[in-house]
Amino acid sequence: MVGCPTCGAALRFDIASQKMACDHCGNLFETQKLSDNSSRDDARSSQFDSYVYICPSCGAELLTTDKNDAVGFCQYCGGASMIYEKMRQEWKPDYIIPFKVTKEDCKKAYCKEVRRHPFVSRKYSKSDLIESFRGIYMPYWSYRAVMSGQFRVPAQSGRQHVSLNTYEIIHYDVVGNSNLALEGYSRDASINFDDDISDALAPYEYRQQMPFAPGYLSGFYAESGDVSAHEYDSAINLETKDDAVNILVNDNAVKSCCEKLKITPNPDEVRAKVNIESAKRTLNPVWFMSYRNGKQITYATVNGQTGKVAADLPLNPLRILLFALGLSAAIFGIIALLMNVIPSIPSIKANGTLGLCLILMNAGMFYLQNSFNRTVSGKGGTRTRVATGGYTLSLIVCLFAFIGAITDGSYEKDRFFICIIPMMATAVIMLFAHFRQAADTSLIKKMATDNTSVLRTRVITEAKSFLRKVVWLKLAMYLSIAIGAMIVYIDPAYNAVSYGACFVAAAELFGLALFHIHFQTNVAKRPLPQFNKKGARYDEN
């Protein structure tokens, strides 16, 4: 406990003022200038006194500097209480990033994130639940690395025409000397804190870190680090090499020397010497909340410096089903409008309705698989967003072109060709998007679970199981698309055939959606954790 120099009452760290505040006399004090009056802490000591609370259910530990504090429940397993064990001395971290985001701002950021996902149950943003957000300082290692000495980067010339059917590409090694020091690399030092959450909350702004003082912990909790700094040596080495080479190849001197060469800085092919010069222990701020439901639990975290949200948000199957039914009703309502209400537009025949269903079925398969790939890969990169945007634009053009081509029973040649050309062009683009998506999906089948977090291993395992379960359904759907396209082309006189094919397509897409809902719901919930003295493990029994 840090006492007030004026009245002796306990101080707390005030996020708004970034100072120590006394609720008794109202004074504010600079955190760095105060010491813990109840312990032997001072600037020369390498340790500080902390009070340890242990969860009897899962074994998780939380530290606090306030001896009058009481931890009501465990953030990791949702247990009803945590037991005070003893006071012990903890090694001081080198630096700390103080909380900048208040609890009120944290709750607003989290509720905004929940609202962005319309299929998430509103129970995850109930007021009594979000009040359980707790400020916890998570331990991190902050690295400084140096790439020095000779480096070698592969490069290649442009394709040059040598003879009639012969082209030449010359490969080079760009060699030079470097002496680059890079810092700001960080990894969490707690086995209890899942790496996926840690990565999702990044980055932290390390230029705002402060020398550690126990006062920053007043009113908050902390975890003690239990991961060695050398655990991440290989990952930091690759990351440093990648950044250093990118800096070098974008240097003006290197560009002028290699202006006609295409430099390919693949970290696996770069030859350079990287040394991790130092690893400093830091504490980073995280607002942490858990929601327990039976033997499963979901986590919600907010970066206490930037306000970035990383949360498990299980989908609500009922919401998705109601949305699917509503969307289906809207689509068939529009078709009925075209057929019966607007006399200026010729009616769409049964085979035209089937064509629309096939296009929408194709789109549904793409968007469901795209959501699956993004969930498993854990990335929403620019390439994925651009591919999805291009597919959506192509889908809209294809739909309008198809409707334009079939709404005239006489199929006037000029109008037919004006519509059929963009329809075929966009159909090819959509097919290409499916092929690229299939290539991404095939990479998921090859994913290894070695050296991955427990949650990540579980997601990959669930994903592979999901792909095995739906393979026959997707083959049946592709077969339905092929047969349906043939029916549309033949234009059968029996409308029952076309409407029957529509029903089959809708049922198949609905079944695929159910599989995806089940997968997304499963991977967003974690089994209850169990921790031991060596670290963390998950006990699913």
What DSSP line would sit under 333-367, residue for residue?
A: HHHHIIIII-TTSPPP-HHHHHHHHHHHHHHHHHH
What does the buried/exposed string (b/e) look like for 130-142 if buried means 16 or more CB atoms within 10 Å of the residue's CB?
beebbbbbbbbbb
495-523 vs 454-490: helix crossing angle, rounded to 10: 170
Provide the pLDDT for residue 270.
61
Provide the pLDDT for residue 38.
45
Write down the pTM of the prediction. 0.73
pLDDT string in tens for the chain (541-residue length): 677 878 877 788 889 888 888 888 888 888 877 765 444 445 556 677 788 888 887 778 888 877 667 677 788 887 777 777 667 777 788 899 999 999 999 999 999 888 888 778 778 888 878 888 989 999 999 888 887 777 777 777 777 767 777 777 777 777 777 777 888 788 888 877 877 788 888 888 888 888 888 888 888 888 877 788 888 888 888 888 777 777 777 777 666 666 667 776 665 556 667 788 888 889 999 999 888 877 778 889 999 999 999 888 877 777 777 777 776 677 666 666 655 555 545 445 667 777 888 888 888 888 888 888 877 876 443 344 446 778 888 888 888 887 777 665 444 556 666 777 888 888 888 888 888 888 888 888 888 777 666 667 778 888 888 998 898 998 998 898 888 888 877 766 667 788 788 888 888 888 888 888 888 877 777 777 766 433 333 333 3
User: Contact, 62 vs 222, CB < 8 A?
Assistant: yes
Provide the pLDDT for residue 101.
93
Residue among 280, 282, 281, 278 nearest 146 (CA): 278
Cis check: omega of the bond before 314, within 30 degrees of 0? no
Supply φ then ψ for residue 262, to 5 degrees: -100, 110
Token readout for 380 is 């929403």
Provide the pLDDT for residue 537.
37
531 strand-pairing partners: 536
Provide the pLDDT for residue 334.
64
Distance CA 302, CA 150 (A): 42
Residue among 74, 73, 68 nearest 87 (CA): 68
What spatial distance separates the first Cα and last Cα of the chain, rounded to whole Å?
40
Provide the pLDDT for residue 301.
92
Residue among 255, 175, 237, 221 nearest 82 (CA): 221
Provide the pLDDT for residue 167.
74
Distance CA 284, CA 254 (A): 38
Residue 209 CA to chain centroid, in angstroms?
25
Q: Is the dihedral of CA 215, 216, 220, 222 positive or negative?
A: negative
Provide the pLDDT for residue 179.
77
Enumerate the domain spans of the chain.
1-34, 103-314+528-538, 317-523
3-class state of residue 19 by DSSP: strand
Token readout for 443 is 């990479």
Provide the pLDDT for residue 530.
64
Structural element, H or E, at residue 108 = helix 103-115
Provide the pLDDT for residue 407.
62
